[in-house]
Every structure is written in structure tokens, then in C-alpha cells.
Amino acid sequence: MTIYLKDAVFIDWQTLSFQQGNFAVPPGDGQVVSRIDQLPPEPAPHSGDAILNCKGKLVTRSFGCGHHHIYSTLARGMPAPAKTPENFQEILQYVWWHLDKNLDLEMIRASALASALYCAKNGVTFVIDHHASPFAIENSLATIRDAFELVGISHLLCYEMTDRDGKAVREKGLAETEAYLADGNQGLVGLHASFTAGDELLTKAASLIERFDTGIHVHVAEDISDQEHCLQTYGKRVIHRLHETGVLNRSRTLLAHCLHLDKEEREILSDSRAWVAQSMESNLNNNVGTTDYRDYGGRILLGTDGMHSDMLRSAKAAFFVGQGTEAMDFSNIYQRFRNVHHYLSSNSFKGDGENNLVVLDYNPPTEINPDNFLGHFVFGIESTHVESVIANGQLIVKERQLQTMDEDEILEFAREMGAALWQKLG
């Protein structure tokens, strides 16, 4: 089952070189794309081979999301919370923690399918998700995994463990994490945040990380209140607290946000092996601040924080705000946008090889070439230009239509589950 790209302009995602011609995209994890002189005359029947006419189209590596929350998918348009939140802690308490406590496995399945659909159509073929559903923990990760795989999205999942709902819920989070990793799935050990994870939980999380040779995925200093809580409760700042457990020495470790770090914490982070996931629109929406990521050691990647599944949009937001906070330029934002591939490949995660591609129907009013590609990346190319998507050599979106599942059925199921969730929210 090979996909042939006919008459494509192929843009190398690293060198930005342009190559015009025909290309063969083989299936399977880690397969590479090759340029070919001759296309097969016609795909052999039942072979699964396909020829995509890419005349006038650009083809390049598809995208990855470094920090997502599929559990928030059914929140769009939901009834207003009981109280209008006035700060970050109240946003969690009245919006997200009220929502995630009411999720059941079918709602999670609907959320994962709908998010995967949006990812696919936006050219995002790999998702790193951070999941919470305190009263439907068992099998939640396998439910998300299966939904993603039906759509054709590769994944790196974790359950965000916490003490906020008591000991029984905490133990279930630990059990789910252990069961998922022990089953041979690639994954991370998730914690919600320092302010909701006591020392016993942090120690247990660190020992799971050790045992499964993986990293932590945790929100760090998203709001200043996380630092205040850490100083009051443990007499130290969040990065120091995490550093003492050894998790920052692991290259799979992924810290979301890291907005409120002092100079010493920035130095520790820079000297560590941890990666940082930036989600600019979420930070703006929650009014928690912005930061300069330039002294974090260069291991910065981009996420959506569950607000949407459009990584080109995340990159643009980080670029525009970054003008004022960190002298952001084209090359920096492109690097950050693409760093997810380096994070995944350097840590030997599967599902993000070179045969993950987007076909862009991008017809600009000006010339596009290797020298000015980044200007088009920032100001021109959007997810509406994503016409077809190839994930691990499989054509999952063709001419803007999902190929692996019925889009209408996914969205109908999501709306049904959304209505049931909103009813529970009261």
C-alpha cells in the first residue's frame, strides 16, 4: 500500500529545500519518502496503492501537538459556570474541574474521536495528550488510544494524577498510569500540577518514571499561584521541587507552560534535559501572563492546551505575542513549531516518521521559494490550506474528507455526548 504523489513540490521540513517531481510514500512506522522517476501506470486493484495528483500543491511534513487535552472537546458552547471565574484557580474550580468530574468513558471516546478528527483535518498527525476524568479513570487512556488509532492519529498519552479529589481517586490515577505503561503502550507519567500533587504522589510518580524509563508531563507555574502554593507548603519553588525528584534529568520529561520562573529556576531548566510546551492562546485566555522562553535551553515545543487542534494557529499566536516578549523571528517560531519531531525522535517514540505528510493547496499571490518560505509560513499558510493528510504512509484525509471514519457520525456522536455532559453539569 504505497501512496504516490504526482507532480508535487516537496518541501524538506528541515532544510526547506524545494524538490519538484513524483514521490513514493510507503506505509508503516518510520518509512521514508523517496523521489521516483516513473509513476506506476495505474494502482493495482485491491493493492491499496493510490496516486494523488499534487500539481500546483505543496507537500511537507505534517504537524504535531505538544500539549493537548482532549477532555475539553465537549466544552465548546457549554452553559456558563455557576460563578464567573475571577482568577486562574476559579477557572479550574468552576469550569475544568467541574467538567472533568462529569466525564464518563463514552464521553471520553466521543471527545477523543472529535479531537482526532480536527487534528487530522488540520494536518496534525501526532498528539501528546494530558488527560483528566477523575470519576472515569480506569481504561480512559486505552479509550483515547483506540479512538486516535481509528482516525489514524499517533499519540503519546498520560493520565494527569492529582490529590485534588482525595486518596481513592489518586490511587486510581496511579493504577491507570501503571496499567497503561505495563501494557507496553508508549506514554508519559502525568501529574496535574505541583499545587495539586502532594509529596507522596510525587514520589510515587517519580518511581513509575524510573520503572518505565519515561518522563513526567505536568503543568508548571502556569499561574503565579502554583509558585505561591509551593513556597508556602514546601518552602521551595516548583522547579526546585521537581528537580529534587530527578525527573528533570529525563529527556522525555515535558513541562507545560513554565510562565513564572525566577532566574535560578531558568538556569536549572536550561541545564536539565526537560522539554517545555508553550500554549500561547491558552495563556492569553486564562490571563496568566506570558514569558520569554529564550533562556530555557532551546527545548521548547508548541501545544494547544486543549483549546483547539490547529498547530498552525498556535504557531501564529506564539509568533505575534513573541514579538513583544522575546524578539521572536520567523526562524525561531518555525523551529519551535517543528521541535515536537525532535522531542519524539530523540526519545525513540513511534508514529512520527518522515512518511507523515500534508498536501497544501496554497496558491499565494506572490512567489514562494526556499528563501521566503518562512514568510509564507507565518503570514500565509493556514489549516484551511490542508487538502490531504498522510499519517504513517496511510491517506487519512483526502481532499478535505476524513478517509478512515465517517465525519458526520463522529460529530453526531460528539453532540449527543456533549448534550449528556451538559445535562450533568447542571
Q: What residue ranges bind Zn ion (CB under 5 A)?
A: 256, 305
Q: Is-contact 170 162, C-beta < 8 A?
A: yes
In angstroms, what is the minimal distance from the CB of 287 to Zn ion?
15
In angstroms, what is the minimal distance from the CB of 160 to Zn ion?
8
Q: Is-contact 209 178, C-beta < 8 A?
A: no
Lookup: cell for 98: 467541574
* H/E segment holding residue 387: strand 386-391
Q: Which is nearer to Zn ion, 256 or 301 (CB)?
A: 256
Q: Is-contact 302 336, C-beta < 8 A?
A: yes
Q: Which is nearer to Zn ion, 190 or 297 (CB)?
A: 190
Burial (CB < 10 A; 0-12, 13-18, 19+), residue 209, is buried
Helix residue spans in 245-310 (DSSP H): 263-271, 280-286
In angstroms, what is the minimal distance from the CB of 196 to Zn ion?
13
In angstroms, what is the minimal distance from the CB of 92 to Zn ion?
11
Q: Which is nearer to Zn ion, 123 or 306 (CB)?
A: 306
* H/E segment holding residue 388: strand 386-391
Q: Which is nearer to Zn ion, 61 or 130 (CB)?
A: 130
In angstroms, what is the minimal distance from the CB of 371 to Zn ion?
36
Q: Which is nearer to Zn ion, 161 or 396 (CB)?
A: 161
Distance between CA atoms of residues 143 and 346, nearest Å: 27
Q: Which is nearer to Zn ion, 2 or 73 (CB)?
A: 73
What is the per-residue DSSP string for 110-153? HHHHHHHHHHHHTTEEEEEE-B--TTS-TTHHHHHHHHHHHHT-
Work out whether strand 357-360 and strand 58-61 pair parallel, antiparallel, or are unpaired: antiparallel
In angstroms, what is the minimal distance from the CB of 112 to Zn ion?
16
Q: Which residues pair with 189 in a beta bridge?
A: 216
The residue type found at 215 is: G
Q: Which is nearer to Zn ion, 265 or 305 (CB)?
A: 305
In angstroms, what is the minimal distance from the CB of 424 to Zn ion?
23
Residue where the block lists cell 516513473:
38
